[in-house]
Structure 1
Amino acid sequence: MNIKFPVDRAIEILRRQHDALSSQWNHRDRSSNPDFKKWKRDTEVALENIFGSESRHLGDFKRISFQAGVWYTDMPDSDHREAYEAGLKTAAAVLNSMIDEIKEYAIAEEGADIAPSSLNLIEQMCLRFHRVARQLRDRHGGRDTLTIGDEYDVQDLLHALLSMHFDDIREEEWSPSYAGSGSRVDFLLKAEQIVIEVKKTRQSMKRGELGEQLIVDRARYAEHPDCKTLVCFVYDPEGIVGNPAGMERDLEKHEGAMRVRVIIAPKA
């Protein structure tokens, strides 16, 4: 089976759409839910780009029904809900099956961009960051190691990981027009025009505080002359963020030239 993406990238995209399903359960049905329609369309676009517009995979997904097969006036809400949840369960199973199929059989099409992009490399570092942090705690002979206690520790370890793939990693002061004050850019990859902003959750964090910080960061970096892509990495080892997929999706909604990628990891 040939696919149009590198295998790892295709799996990452499908997993992201699968994980985003968790935020759809609170909606009664798709007809009154723009958020669900966006998720469904995003998934269809992903499948078309990975497998092709005439693929069985896209057809299988489009045939999933999220509404009752027979509708009548005064239909109980429970019937709508049952049909909607059945559709979500089927979608989850189908996406999982596609991921397994890619792992087992997929080969990237000749001419596909096999080398991972800079953004894809950064995404993988963030998604596997917790695994690296745990491994560092277990050293031979009880030797001293790096304990991730605050954002500075996260920055130090991420900087070391970035150095494996990028030569020009800058930590610089920058005075944006937004909010009228200067701030430090955690990491600027100047050649790639990528800015990486690092956060770490904590028990004392107030409800909504993290989202507010990221909204401010997003607005500030939109004015940065060297920022075409903003990556916001939130290290959440204790699972404080209740709905990481929902927060990622909400904060990535942004009009303008700057691309925004929010990564909250590890996922519970």
Structure 2
Amino acid sequence: MNIPARLTSLHRLTSLADSVASTRRAYLLALTTTISFAVFIAAFYLKLVYPIFLPADMSNPAVQRLIASKDFQATTHPFFTRLKKFNSRQPGETPPFPDDLFVSDESQIGVTVNFHYKLVPQDANWLPKTINGSHPSLRQYRYDQEITVRPTPWLLITMAMIECLYFGLFLLSYVQWSKSKARTLEKGVLRAYRDASIEATLMPPPPKPSLNTIHNLLYHFHHFYKHLRQRSRGRIGFDSDDEFDLQDALEAALHLHFTDVKREETTPSWAGSSTRIDFLVPEAEAAIEVKRVRPDHREKSLANELLLDIARYPTHPGCTHLFFLIYDPDERLTNPQGLQTDIESTASTLKVHVVVVPRR
């Protein structure tokens, strides 16, 4: 497969890979939303039942809410009144014996608080004693409380079932998706895109325009310029004998092959003066000078102009090749081949190329 075809295939794979990436981003967003919702439900439940993680004493907020409720006070008040009356009995009196008290509160969402008041003697080592030589002392009792704070069973089971169902459905959908044809197609597209990307990185870069490009362009410049002057359908052509018009046409042609073409680049000073290069092409490290053969031009005077330019241009840092385009549409030069040979054989640090057009 040639390079353009490979680039076209890579472009198509890139479009498919972008579609797959968009689908996966949407799936990732759905996954994130699902997990976030599950975490939110769990966090909300933990906020409801956080008292179960605190000490089960009077500092626990769930215990405090229960003790402050009127129902709790109405339930416990008769038992403490009976205990007080029993402890204040006189010898011979037989008031009702106090009972243990168990209070369970499920009114708080998510939390169940249990109070167990167990009746125990105030003094475990109590022995009957005679008071003033008559009646023995009576044994006193107190309530020993045990507090437990636990999650409400029905809400705990409900939340656990919701979370399990939620993650079960999510896991089931993920397994089905991972085994689906769409998933297989996505893997194939991404694998092909990866292979094509690796192949693209190993492909040689497109060749840069070379010195041969400049040679071919200058050799065919006369045909190019001739077609500009002789337009079809009676339209006015680009007809001019001015050297600047030649430079404009050549610059347009150079831009077809080179991205950077500098016009009238100034050379460093030489013998107290400086000159301007018609064109500098940094990609090829080449300078191009355009000469239009005038009626008063002879080979000798033209050769002297070229030799003077050759002596000046080696001082330019971005120039290793110097091209002379000698445009002679009227064929005034009697020996263009000899002029080309003499100039190109001139001793210089530059590689000099002379192109006389139209070719004869």
Could you state the TM-score of these two structures normalised by the residue count of structure 2? Answer: 0.41
Could you say which residue in structure 1 is the equivalent of 2:318? 226
In structure 2, C-alpha distance between the alignment counterparts of 1:206 and 1:246, rounded to whole Å: 13
In structure 2, C-alpha distance between the alignment counterparts of 1:148 and 1:202, rounded to whole Å: 13
Q: Which moved more, 1:166-175 or 1:208-217?
A: 166-175
Gaps of 5+ in 1: 1-114
- Residue 140 of structure 1, CA deviation: 2.8
Residue identity in the other structure for 2:276: R
Q: Helix, strand or coil: the match of 1:140?
A: coil
In structure 2, C-alpha distance between the alignment counterparts of 1:182 and 1:173, rounded to whole Å: 11
In structure 1, C-alpha distance between the alignment counterparts of 2:277 and 2:224, rounded to whole Å: 24
Counterpart check, 1:145 vs 2:237: yes
Counterpart check, 1:246 vs 2:334: no
Does structure 1 retain, via aligned residues, the 8 Å contact 2:320–2:350?
Answer: yes
Counterpart check, 1:156 vs 2:248: yes
Q: Helix, strand or coil: the match of 1:264?
A: strand
In structure 2, C-alpha distance between the alignment counterparts of 1:261 and 1:241, rounded to whole Å: 18
Does structure 2 retain, via aligned residues, the 8 Å contact 1:173–1:182?
Answer: no
Residue-by-residue CA offset, 1:92-144 (whole Å, 9 max, x unaligned): xxxxxxxxxxxxxxxxxxxxxxx696211111111111111222222233222
- Residue 178 of structure 1, CA deviation: 2.2
Determine which structure has more spread, i.e. the larger CA radius of gyration. 2
Q: Helix, strand or coil: the match of 2:352?
A: strand
Could you state the TM-score of these two structures normalised by the residue count of structure 1? Answer: 0.54
Residue-by-residue CA offset, 1:173-194 (whole Å, 9 max, x unaligned): 4243323212221000123211
Q: Which residue, out of 253, 257, 261, partners 2:349? A: 257
Does structure 1 retain, via aligned residues, the 8 Å contact 2:265–2:276?
Answer: yes
Residue identity in the other structure for 2:262: R
In structure 2, C-alpha distance between the alignment counterparts of 1:257 and 1:216, rounded to whole Å: 14
Could you say which residue in structure 2 is the equivalent of 1:134? 226
- Residue 201 of structure 1, CA deviation: 0.2
In structure 2, C-alpha distance between the alignment counterparts of 1:183 and 1:257, rounded to whole Å: 18
Residue identity in the other structure for 1:158: L
Does structure 2 retain, via aligned residues, the 8 Å contact 1:155–1:186?
Answer: yes
Counterpart check, 1:199 vs 2:285: no
- Residue 207 of structure 1, CA deviation: 5.0
**Aligned residue pairs: how many?**
155
Does structure 2 retain, via aligned residues, the 8 Å contact 1:133–1:148?
Answer: no
Q: Helix, strand or coil: the match of 2:268?
A: coil
Q: Which moved more, 1:147-156 or 1:209-218?
A: 147-156
In structure 2, C-alpha distance between the alignment counterparts of 1:245 and 1:117, rounded to whole Å: 27
Q: Which residue, out of 308, 332, 344, partners 1:216? A: 308
**Map of 1:1-268 to 2, 5 A cutoff?**
118-206=210-298, 208-268=300-360
